Each structure stands twice: as C-alpha cells, then as structure tokens.
Chain A
Amino acid sequence: DAKTTQPPSMDCAEGRAANLPCNHSTISGNEYVYWYRQIHSQGPQYIIHGLKNNETNEMASLIITEDRKSSTLILPHATLRDTAVYYCIVRVITGTASKLTFGTGTRLQVTL
C-alpha cells in the first residue's frame, strides 16, 4: 500500500472549516483514499473514501488532486465533537479481506 504523510496536529476554531491534508505521492491508479477518525478511547469511525473524483457526504468532503498525490478532508463547520485523530489511508479494494494500515494520523483540536 502507498504510504501517507499527515501533519501530527492541527487546531481549528469551532464553526470554521477544518482542512486536513494528506500526502500520498506513491499512490497507484487502483488505490482508494480512505479517511477514518478516532475520538479518544473509542474505535475508529469511517468518514469517507474516494478514488479520483471529489466526494461529499453528510460528515465531510474529500478533495483529491488531479494527479492524486494528495488529498484534503474538509469538515465544513467544525464542532467540539469533531476533536479526534484523523487517519488518511490508501488502499486497494480487492476481493480478499485485505487490511487497512493506520498511521499516526492528525490530531485535530477544535476550540471555542
């Protein structure tokens, strides 16, 4: 799987957009970008995934650059409950139960 690089921590004011970057310069054409988040002492929660088009759901938007070497997760109106560690993962979707490799992620702190 391609390696991802994320900043270790970020701050965001409540109500503002949180933009979390991820570099995945060695991504292959068939690898998807996934985002999960983990609130303290809980299990990770799936947020969104995409291949090359931008994606949006009720939680967030995912912007993938045209060359697919980086992406940005956008939380449009961050709240205190969005304080968590956010993981960017690159993975091939195959027919087998292959694994997700979680790095150390970005610790997002949302403040008043």
Chain B
Amino acid sequence: DGGITQSPKYLFRKEGQNVTLSCEQNLNHDAMYWYRQDPGQGLRLIYYSQIVNDFQKGDIAEGYSVSREKKESFPLTVTSAQKNPTAFYLCASRAPGTASYEQYFGPGTRLTVT
C-alpha cells in the first residue's frame, strides 16, 4: 500500500533535548510538508520541500530544522530553541504537477515535552 508513515505516534522528551520526527512516503511525491497543530487550532506550516536537497521555511520555522536527502524522507528536528514544542505534528506530501493541490497526510506524531 502506498502512503505516508510517521513514527512514533507518541513521543515524550525532556525539555532541552532535541528530538527528530520521522516522515516517510512511498507515493513518489516530490513535495513534502511539515505542519504543527495545537489543541483546537488549525494547522500551521513549519517547513516544506519541493525537491530533494531543497527546502523552504514556512510560517513558524523558528526552533525547527529539516533535511531532504532522499525523495522518500523528510525528517523534522525539534530543537531546544523551540519554546513550546508540545504539539501534534503532521507530515504531508503532494504529487507533482498543478492539476490538483491534494495533499496526503500521515497519521501524525504527538510530541510531549516536559
């Protein structure tokens, strides 16, 4: 089955530690995205990547870093500089072309930092 996987589903870390969230897709999509969602809120874009070895900051990139060394993978690192890291993190990908803008989302990782 094709899709997007995020692991783990739940992640717990101590304050001051960096943590890396995994996102893998086997849909052969070029573009990938990371969003953050806080309780009762919509999604906010952290970073996105249109192609391997290229990525751009979204609306709330401070305290986060990404890499895109492979088409299938777009890991997100939540650094200790992120002031409020506890949130639900969603990864998405999009097929090439502009006929549609459908994004496919993974199941999400719920990060809790104490």
Contacts and interface: CB of A to CB of B under 8 A. Distances in A.
A45 B107 CA distance: 10
B76 to A, nearest CB: 14
A46 B104 contact: yes
A104 B50 contact: no
Contact of B90 (A44, A87, A93, A104): A44
B98 A46 contact: no
B100 interface: yes
B64 interface: no
B11 interface: no
Contacts of B102: 46, 49
Contact of A41 (B31, B45, B48, B108): B108
Contact size class for B? Answer: 20 to 34
Contact of B107 (A42, A46, A87, A105): A42
Interface in A76-96: 87, 91, 93-96
A7 interface: no
Interface of A: 32, 34, 41-46, 49, 87, 91, 93-97, 99-105
Interface of B: 4, 30-31, 33, 35, 40-45, 48-50, 56, 58-59, 88, 90, 92, 94, 98, 100-108, 110
30 contacts: A34-B101, A41-B108, A41-B110, A43-B90, A44-B43, A44-B90, A44-B92, A44-B105, A46-B103, A46-B104, A49-B101, A49-B102, A91-B101, A93-B98, A93-B100, A94-B98, A95-B98, A96-B50, A97-B33, A97-B48, A97-B49, A97-B50, A99-B45, A99-B58, A100-B43, A100-B45, A100-B103, A102-B43, A102-B44, A105-B42
